[in-house]
C-alpha cells in the first residue's frame, strides 16, 4: 500500500514533537523499601518523536506497537529501552515520553501504627537523543502547615491548612519516588495521613504546632534538601497553601540555577 506519511510535506518545516497523547496504560513501579516489590497502577501516557521537514507525517500506530511490546517495571533501563524502541520504529533521532500516574503507599499513623493508603501524583518524563537519556521525576505531596504569624499573635491557637509541595527534578541514574516524598513531607509542619486515631491526631497536631511554617519556609526547606541530594542535577519546587482563613491560596517556588 502507498505510504502517504513518508511522502513529501506540503510545508517543509521540521516538527519538534508529533505523536499520541492521553493513552491509558497499566504499569508496574518498583518500590524503594523492597526493590523486588512492584506497585501496580495506571498511567496516562504521552509519546512523541521529532519529524524531519521532508516527511509529511509520522506513523501513529507504531507508537502503540512500541507500548504494546513493552511490559517491564518502570526503571532507568526499561525506560531507555522503550524510548529506543520508539526511535527505531519511527526512524526518529529523538523521542519523548511522559507518564502520569497515582502512586500508592501504605503509611502508618504516628502513634497507633494504623495503616492507611496514601496516593501521590507522579510525573515521569524522558527524552532520548543519540542514545543519551535525560529523564525527570516529579511528585505532588500534601503536607500540613501552621501559620507562624497566627501562632505568635493568638492566645493558644493558630490557623492551619493543607499545602501541596510539587517537586520536579532532573537527575543522574535512578531516583526513588519515596525520596522526593520524604523531602516534601519533611519541609512542612507535619505530614498528612490517610487514617488517624485520636492519639494520632494529638501527635500530628502537637508536632505541627511545634513546627509552624510559612509557605516561604516550606519551599526553602524543600529546595535545600533537593540541592543536597547527590543524584539531583536540576529541580523546581512549588508550594501552594490552600489557606483556611483567606479567600486565596499562598504560593512560592524555587528553581535550581543548574542548567538542564
The pLDDT tens digits for 159-205 are 999 999 999 999 877 789 999 999 999 999 999 999 999 999 999 99
* Interval 205-245: pLDDT, tens: 999 999 999 999 999 999 999 999 988 999 999 999 998 88
- CATH T-level topology, domain 15-255: Urate Oxidase (3.10.270)
The answer to whether residue 6 scores a pLDDT higher than 70 is no
pTM for this predicted structure: 0.87
All structural domains of the chain with their residue ranges: 15-255
**pLDDT-derived band of residue 2, with 50, 70 and 90 as boundaries?**
very low
Residue from 148, 177, 169, 172 nearest 160 by CA: 148
Residue from 39, 66, 20 nearest 177 by CA: 39
pLDDT above 70 as % of the chain: 90
Would you say 146 and 209 are in contact if contact means Cβ atoms under 8 Å apart?
yes
The mean per-residue pLDDT over the stretch 76-81 comes to 86
Residue from 138, 45, 27 nearest 86 by CA: 45
**Quick one: 226 exposed, middle or buried, by C-beta within 10 A (0-12, 13-18, 19+)?**
buried
The SS3 assignment for 43 reads: strand
The number of helices, as runs of H, and strands, as runs of E, in the chain is: 6, 9
**pLDDT-derived band of residue 74, with 50, 70 and 90 as boundaries?**
confident
C-beta atoms surrounding 137 within 10 Å: 23
Phi and psi at residue 259, to the nearest 5°: -75, 150
The span from the CA of 167 to the CA of 165, in Å, is 6
- CB-based contacts of 17, cutoff 8 Å, min separation 6: 48, 49, 50, 96
Cα dihedral sign for 212, 237, 72, 119?
positive
Residue with cell 491509558: 24
Amino acid at each position: 500500500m502507498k505510504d502517504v506519511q513518508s511522502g513529501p510535506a506540503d510545508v517543509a518545516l521540521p516538527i519538534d514533537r508529533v505523536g499520541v497523547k492521553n493513552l491509558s496504560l497499566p504499569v508496574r513501579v518498583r518500590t524503594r523499601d523492597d526493590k523486588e516489590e512492584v506497585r501496580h497502577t495506571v498511567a496516562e501516557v504521552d509519546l512523541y518523536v521529532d519529524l524531519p521537514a521532508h516527511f509529511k507525517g509520522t506513523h501513529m500506530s507504531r507508537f502503540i506497537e512500541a507500548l504494546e511490546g513493552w511490559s517491564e517495571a518502570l526503571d532507568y533501563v526499561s525506560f531507555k529501552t522503550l524510548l529506543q524502541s520508539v526511535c527505531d520504529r519511527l526512524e526518529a533521532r529523538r523521542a519523548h515520553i511522559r507518564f502520569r500516574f497515582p502512586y500508592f503507599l501504605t503509611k502508618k499513623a504516628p502513634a497507633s501504627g494504623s495503616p492507611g493508603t496514601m496516593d501521590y501524583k507522579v510525573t515521569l518524563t524522558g527524552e532520548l537523543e543519540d542514545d543519551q537519556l535525560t529523564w525527570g521525576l516529579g511528585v505532588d505531596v500534601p503536607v500540613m502547615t501552621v501559620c507562624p504569624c497566627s501562632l505568635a499573635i493568638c492566645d493558644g491557637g493558630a490557623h492551619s491548612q493543607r499545602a501541596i509541595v510539587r517537586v520536579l527534578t532532573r537527575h543522574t541514574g535512578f531516583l526513588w519516588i519515596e525520596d522526593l516524598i520524604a523531602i516534601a513531607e519533611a519541609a512542612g509542619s507535619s505530614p498528612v495521613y490517610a487514617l488517624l486515631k485520636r492519639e494520632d491526631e494529638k501527635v500530628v497536631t502537637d508536632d505541627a504546632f511545634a513546627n509552624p511554617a510559612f509557605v516561604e519556609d516550606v519551599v526553602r526547606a524543600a529546595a535545600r534538601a533537593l540541592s543536597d541530594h547527590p543524584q539531583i542535577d536540576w529541580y523546581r519546587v512549588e508550594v501552594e497553601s490552600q489557606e483556611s482563613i483567606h479567600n486565596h491560596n499562598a504560593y512560592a517556588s524555587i528553581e535550581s540555577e543548574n542548567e538542564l
